[in-house]
Amino acid sequence: MIYLDYQATTPLAPEALRAMLPWLEQGHANPHSAHRAGRQARAAVEVARDQVAALLPPGGRVVFTSGATEALNWAIKGVGMDAGKSAGGGIVTTAIEHAAVLDTAHATGRPLTILPVDSDGLIAPETVREGTGLVAAMLVNNEIGTVQPVAALARAAHLAGAWMLCDAVQGYGRIAIPDDVDLVALSAHKIHGPKGIGALWIRDGITLPPLLHGGDQEGGRSGTLSPALCAGFGAAAKLMAARQDADSAHVAHLWALAIERLGPGWTINGSTERRYHGNLNIRRDGLDVARLMSDCRDIAFSAGSACASGSGRPSHVLTALGLTDAQVKSSIRLGFGRCTTEAELTQGIDQLVDAAGAQRR
């Protein structure tokens, strides 16, 4: 199997697995227990917390969650229910956000403004208006890889009296997170860590009411932490920091190779300049994506986000770019990264190109 679906999830780093194993094999103590074994587990959690925080702005704290979906729900539902913000403050987000943001924002019942994007998938920060309580935007889009002007959005949010929530799931460790943001959502399995754990970074001075009640183990978040998952997340974050330059150079090389191998007839969806190069969303007129997936069963790639697959709905992200229904349905997403070899990418691209060409013949 040639794996080209890095936006859905990344392979678990061996270093993350090694960090987890002691806490899966022997270290079974509850990290919230007061005895020695519990304190040892707690120490592992705190080491991991520092490792995750090392790639985030200063002046905040990392709270572990079950994943980015919980982190985003907590941030969106919590802002406006605290003593420092008006409950009537509206939410501003973009038309190409993850469902965890869009659906949660709708569920709050608060005034919601969804900013349109241009054909490159980018927004205009100056569209944030007064009366806003929260601005939420991805750093790197999960479907098309575009990098939003989050720093400018944060400044516009603050001028409007709002807080800035950055969904950094796809960008953490790859794109610098601006210091201006107030809340940051993360996911371990997007950075070669384990599934089932994420985090919400909260700027100092911000207090969110609990999303989950029943113990307050994390100071605002209830639930027993898994030392193994925390250790794996921390090790993956430490590795992202150490390999940031090497990973970036490798991905840029793979991007250039992929563009060269695709040849004519393919169009890139989203900005070709303001993007993370490990995400390649492309379309070909008349392409039958379902048939392509059937013909290339030994290649893992996507027709959209993993969360939306099987829904039967066209991608809201590609639709927001102004693509026609036919163009949306003829688009695929290729994701590659640290573990992808040149040979794998070349073989995968060539198979996809040949299969797409066979459809025309």
Question: Which of 174, 230, 220, 206 minimizes the C-alpha distance to 31?
Answer: 230
Q: Is 339 a catalytic residue?
A: no
Question: Which of 337, 329, 340 minimizes the C-alpha distance to 303?
Answer: 329
Return the structure tokens found at 117: 């994007």
Pairing of strands 198-203, 183-187: antiparallel
312: burial class by Cβ within 10 Å (0-12, 13-18, 19+)? Answer: exposed
Q: Which amino acid, residue 30?
A: N
Within 8 A by CB and 6+ apart from 216, the residues are: 210, 222
Phi and psi at residue 10, to the nearest 5°: -115, 155
143: burial class by Cβ within 10 Å (0-12, 13-18, 19+)? Answer: buried
Out of 166, 296, 307, 339, pick the active-site residue.
307
Pairing of strands 112-115, 90-94: parallel
Residue corresponding to tokens 């079974």: 28
Helices (H) and strands (E) in the chain, counts: 10, 12
Question: Which of 94, 100, 99, 43 minimizes the C-alpha distance to 67?
Answer: 100
As a whole number of angstroms, the distance between CA 315 and CA 337 comes to 23
With beta carbons less than 8 A apart as the criterion, state whether 285 and 266 touch: no
| Residue 143 DSSP one-character state | T
Q: Which residues are catalytic?
A: 307
